[in-house]
Structure 1
Amino acid sequence: MNIQIELDGRRLDLARMHEISLPIDFSMTKERAWYIGPPRREPVRLGDWVGSTREGGSVNFYNLFINPHAHGTHIETASHINHTYSISPVVNPLFLKAYLFTAAADNSGALDLLTLWPALPYDVQAIVIRTLPNSPDKVHTCYSNTNPSFLTADDAKRLANSGIFILLIDLPSVDPERDNGALAAHHSFWEHQLPHSPKPALIGEFLYIPDALPDGPYALHIQHPAMYTDAVPARVFLIPYI
């Protein structure tokens, strides 16, 4: 089988597609952020019957207890901050024009995007922000009570005004860990979407982008379950061009 996909005349190198998402792992002993503990998987118990082959049951039949924001890569709609918005995170189109950019924080903790703006393609639809430092240990980091870096509301606005409607970052949040509930970058990004941008605009958090992937343009593909809530787990892929 030979499948070829083009995005605006550029062929996608599917053989070098890279997953940049962090799975929800039920062997985790702590959350990745937000102080709530690890995800849980518990067998259903109905009288004497148990949904666990390990415990003698005929089949594995589990209840899952997860929080998309705390336990792995997720995407969220504006319903994360306002119940009147759509709660269906539909990614459209299937492949998006994305740009990968690496940023470090300044002394305030805000990410420095100064060199992004002259490099950003005019027709980009999604931005993927890799933050420094970027050790492989990042995939196991628990960010609770660490005050990681963040985006400013002005930069979130500028991203939205650039036509970007998918904002992805490798941190627990685009906003500071503690900001008294302001979530200024979330609000700014969603409030400044261009009228013609596809809806809903999405924010994705908790990625990991290896250093081997250079900054620059990629195609982006996002998979997620059919769930109606403010945030859902997601698989995210960067695809180089040929």
Structure 2
Amino acid sequence: GGAVNFFNVSFNPHAHGTHTETAGHITKERHSINSNFKNPYTKSVLLTVTPIQGVVTFDDFLVQWERASSKHWLDQTESVILRTEQHEGSLLREYSNTDWPFLASEIGSFLRSSGIDHLIIDQPSVDQEEDGGALACHRSFWGPTPLESLHRTITELAHIPI
């Protein structure tokens, strides 16, 4: 080929669409998802949860979890997909400054202690848009020693059809 015009494009998937994070998202050092996320094929369960005043509470989550458990849907499950409120047009929705629904931090620690390695949600974050940097659900899912949880992932802004 001959000489052509081209441009470098910078893209931050965290701010522009579906993205998957490891505990490296909150650690001081960088940790590549490619080095830590080894099995993209896992048994998953889909739970539909309803935010109350913008929060998916632990009690409401637990109702759905126990319902799935009673049907043995959680046997050997490694991934939990949480559908909160997938509205029509959500694929084109601008989420900035909307204070989207978020998860109570207890949900993250419960999933970790239950052996769940992958959390998938249809919102821009498992945490509140503005939380002063607490990232409570992220931190509770990856635990007090996040370097031991580099294999665990959180996928946010996933499109989960009804």
- Count of residue correspondences: 149
More strand by share: 1
| Structure 1 residue 66 displacement after superposition | 1.0
- Equivalent in the alignment of 1:86: 31
RMSD (Å) for aligned C-alpha atoms: 2.1
Q: Which residue number corresponds to residue 161 of structure 1?
A: 113
Alignment match, 1:122: 75
In the other structure, the counterpart of 1:97 is 43
Quote how far apart the aligned CAs of 1:127 are. Answer: 0.7
C-alpha distance in 2 between matches for 1:163 and 1:192: 15
User: Where in structure 2 are there 5+ consecutive unaligned residues?
Assistant: none
Q: Indicate if the aligned counterparts of 2:50 and 2:84 stay in contact, CA closer than 8 A.
A: yes
Cα–Cα, structure 1 residues 138 and 106, in superposed 2: closer, same or farther, change >3 Å?
Answer: same
Q: Does 1:208 align with 2:154?
A: no
Is the Cα–Cα contact under 8 Å of residues 24 and 150 in structure 2 kept in the other structure? no
TM norm structure 2: 0.83
Classify 1:142/1:199 alpha carbon distance in 2 versus 1 (closer, same or farther; 3 Å).
same
Q: 1:113 aligns with which of 61, 65, 75?
A: 61
Take 1:203 and 1:78, find their aligned partners in 2: how far apart are those partners? 9
User: Is the 8 Å Cα contact of residues 92 and 198 (structure 1) preserved in structure 2?
Assistant: no
> Contact conserved, 2:13 with 2:19, CA < 8 A, in 1?
yes
Matches within 5 A, 1:9-28: none
What residue in structure 1 maps to residue 9 of structure 2? Answer: 64
Cα deviation, 1:17-39, whole Å, max 9, x if unaligned, reads xxxxxxxxxxxxxxxxxxxxxxx
Any stretches of 5+ residues in structure 1 without a counterpart? Answer: 1-48, 52-60, 212-242
CA gap of 1:106–1:177, structure 2 versus 1, over 3 A, is: same
- 1:25 alignment partner in structure 2: none
**Residues 129 and 170 of structure 1 are in contact (CA less than 8 Å); yes or no, is this contact kept in structure 2?**
yes
Distance 2:62 2:143 in 1: 22
1:187 Cα deviation after fit: 0.4
Deviating beyond 3 angstroms after TM superposition, the runs of 4 or more aligned structure 1 residues are none
Report percent identity of matched pairs.
38
> CA separation in 1, counterparts of 2:153 and 2:46?
16
Structure 1 residue 198: Cα displacement: 7.8
Letter in 2 for 1:130: R
Alignment TM-score, normalising by the size of structure 1: 0.57
Whole-Å separation in 2 of the counterparts to 1:152 and 1:74: 20
What is the alpha-carbon distance in structure 1 between the residues aligned to residue 61 and residue 103 of structure 2?
9
